[in-house]
Structure 1
Amino acid sequence: MKKFILLLIAVAAIAFLEPRSRAHIMSAVPFLSDANNQRTATRALEQIAAYVQATATQSGRYPLTETFPNWLMQAELSAEDPWGSAYYLEVFPDSFVVGSPGPDSRRRTPDDIRVAEGRAVREEGLIPDYSPAPPPSSTKTRAMRAAEAASKGKGE
């Protein structure tokens, strides 16, 4: 029995190494694919945030939010998350956020993946905003919990 299990594990490992087989395996087991996509998006967002910060430090300004996907492509970084949606940028007086709409492809929903960084370059004439940056996507605010509770109450 132990040999059979070892053989089964070995065959699965070999099949996973073949790209076409990996795609079939990942689609058959969606929770593995989703977790992998979230890790991939988080790593990409961390790299993008570091690049945005480095570029702003060198040039003295941040990319425009409207043209952020084009800016990413010019920087030879991926402009799309693993689910096919464009990464986005939000710039605040004291911080910036790069984000992915997540699996549902809609911004400002609980499944968004966001990386916030403090601004290295401040805009001229702005009074520093010492309020905290938006919470990470894993943190639920009271308003989010209230909205969830309200939507559950309507569905019943």
Structure 2
Amino acid sequence: MKWLLVILILLGFAWSVPAGRERIQGVLQPVAERLDPVLDWALNPTRRAGVRRELDFIMRAIETHRQTGRGFPNPATFSEWVASSVDAVHDGLDPWGQPYTLEVSRETVTVISAGPDRVRGTADDVRVTRNFGR
């Protein structure tokens, strides 16, 4: 256990030096690529819970934006709006690195994360919808 701690400290130190970072990335990239599917499978339940909380937070920001007389954010520039207007955890991106999207209909507003498969419109999407009854 002590060795693991020492190795992690040394990797952290090497990562802080640009030349060391390049070397470590070259060595760890193949390992990271092999572990990525396993880590995704293990972390997806946690990410889904986190994204639902973040979508609720974004929806509250939309409600505040609307209540101040500015209407709803533009769906075409929604990810930029989230990044600049909402204190979001991932700078406007969901935990899988995809931009959040906004759908506005006559009665409802929906904020969407593409989910683990990173493809919008599939069964694993995470959605939060509010009825604003315009």
Query: Under a length normalisation based on structure 2, what TM-score does the superposition of the two structures give?
Result: 0.66
Structure-2 change in CA distance of 1:33 and 1:63 (3 Å): same
Name the SS for the 1:67 alignment partner: helix
Give the secondary-structure state (helix, strand or coil) at the position aligned to 1:70: helix
1:62 aligns with 2:60: no
**2:114 aligned residue (79, 101, 112):** 101
Q: Among 50, 55, 58, which residue is 1:45 paired with? A: 55
Amino acid at match of 1:31: W
Q: How many angstroms does 1:59 deviate by?
A: 1.9
Matching residue of 1:150:
none
Native 8 Å contact 1:53 1:119 kept in 2: no
1:90-129 alignment runs, 5 A limit: 90-119=103-132, 122=134
Unaligned runs of at least 5 residues, structure 2: 12-31
* TM-score, scaled relative to structure 1: 0.57
- Distance, in Å, in 2 between the alignment partners of 1:43 and 1:69 is 17
* SS state at 2:110 partner: strand
Q: What root-mean-square deviation, in Å, do the aligned CA atoms of Structure 1 and Structure 2 show? A: 2.4
Q: Could you list the runs of 4 or more consecutive aligned residues of structure 1 that deviate by over 2 angstroms after TM superposition?
A: 26-32
Q: Which runs of 5+ in 1 are unaligned?
A: 1-10, 123-156
Query: What's the offset of the Cα at 1:81?
Result: 0.4
Identical counterparts, % of pairs: 27
Return the index of the structure with the highest Cα Rg.
1
